[in-house]
């Protein structure tokens, strides 16, 4: 994790100098196991974003899709009254930015210093047309997104504040890139702010803070630099079970 962070920081530093260079051809470090995405790599372009920087805005033409190399991205919806909701977080490895329509319906912003690769939509669709495997993979990405959305909807509609926070931490732990040192005490990075988490969970930052503090006092989690360490997974799963609405 430390090593990884260092590497990606180096990439970021290189790109921040202005060399928005072409992505290297199929990673030399990875031997076999050709991903269906590999065929796309020749069309990929790297770009770095600073913390808080906008990747695209709602209404923009949806002529690209992206993959996260390092950092993180939030998909944000705003309404006319200024209310904000974070629909999703995208972490390293995630593909995002595919749309059915021609325009973005959400905006995307970097939650931390972030490096992305983007692919032209035309190229992606042309490749999908020809390589059935890629088309199938893209469909799977969309359907997995839908499945995750359904879980989030359940969370927003039916779970109490404490459960939401606990579920969020567990989800982040699940999705985090495989951790080298996971002796049941799993470190989870939380690159996003409390406000982002609150807007994702349909809460306020105070409520998120309070519940995190309680989990710390209970010894279920421990606060780290910019994240948490899960000490008791079982307790985390059962947290707030009694305070449910139904």
Partner DNA sequence: CGCCGCGTACGTGGTTCCCCGTACGCGGCG
Partner DNA sequence: CGCCGCGTACGGGGAACCACGTACGCGGCG
Binding site for DNA (CB under 7 A): 160-162, 193-195, 202-210, 212-213, 223, 243-246
The residue among 70, 83, 72 whose CA lies nearest residue 9 is 70
- Sequence-ordered list of residues with C-beta below 8 angstroms from that of 90, at least 6 positions apart, any chain: 66, 68, 72, 73, 74, 75, 96, 108
Give 49 or 119: the residue with its C-beta nearer to DNA. 49
Give 17 or 246: the residue with its C-beta nearer to DNA. 246
Of 34-42, 101-109, 179-187, 213-221, the window that binds a second copy (rule: CB under 8 A) is: 101-109
Q: Six-digit token pair at 139? A: 């469909």
Binder among 150, 180, 195, 224 for a second copy (CB under 8 A): 150
Give 147 or 226: the residue with its C-beta nearer to a second copy. 147
Binder among 6, 132, 180, 219 for a second copy (CB under 8 A): 132
161 binds, among DNA, a second copy, none (CB under 5 to 8 A by kind): DNA
209 binds, among a second copy, DNA, none (CB under 5 to 8 A by kind): DNA
Q: Is 234 in the site for a second copy (CB under 8 A)?
A: no
**CA pair distance 62, 47, nearest whole angstrom:** 17
Q: CB 228 → a second copy: shortest distance, Å? A: 22
Give 17 or 245: the residue with its C-beta nearer to DNA. 245
Q: Is 103 in the site for a second copy (CB under 8 A)?
A: no
128 binds, among a second copy, DNA, none (CB under 5 to 8 A by kind): a second copy
223 binds, among a second copy, DNA, none (CB under 5 to 8 A by kind): DNA
Binder among 17, 83, 217, 225 for a second copy (CB under 8 A): 83
The answer to whether 241 touches 163, Cβ cutoff 8 Å, is yes
Q: Is 130 in the site for a second copy (CB under 8 A)?
A: yes
């Amino acid at each position: 994790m430390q090593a990884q962070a260092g590497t990606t920081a180096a990439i970021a530093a290189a790109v921040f100098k202005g060399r928005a260079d072409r992505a290297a051809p199929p990673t030399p470090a990875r031997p076999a196991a050709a991903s269906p995405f590999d065929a796309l790599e020749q069309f990929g372009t790297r770009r770095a974003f600073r913390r808080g920087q906008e990747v695209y805005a709602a209404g923009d033409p949806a002529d690209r899709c992206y993959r996260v190399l390092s950092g993180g991205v939030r998909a944000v919806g705003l309404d006319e009254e200024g209310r904000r909701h974070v629909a999703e977080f995208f972490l390293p490895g995630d593909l995002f930015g595919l749309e059915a329509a021609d325009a973005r319906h959400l905006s995307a912003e970097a939650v931390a210093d972030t490096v992305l690769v983007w692919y032209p939509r035309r190229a992606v669709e042309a490749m999908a047309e020809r390589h059935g495997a890629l088309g199938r993979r893209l469909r799977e990405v969309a359907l997995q997104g839908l499945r995750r959305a359904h879980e989030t909807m359940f969370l927003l509609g039916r779970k109490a504040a404490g459960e939401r926070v606990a579920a969020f931490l567990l989800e982040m732990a699940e999705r985090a890139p495989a951790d080298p040192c996971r002796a049941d005490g799993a470190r989870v990075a939380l690159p996003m702010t409390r406000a982002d988490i609150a807007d994702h969970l349909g809460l306020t930052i105070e409520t998120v803070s309070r519940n995190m503090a309680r989990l710390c006092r209970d010894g279920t989690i421990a606060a780290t630099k910019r994240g948490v360490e899960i000490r008791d997974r079982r307790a985390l799963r059962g947290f707030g079970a009694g305070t449910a609405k139904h």
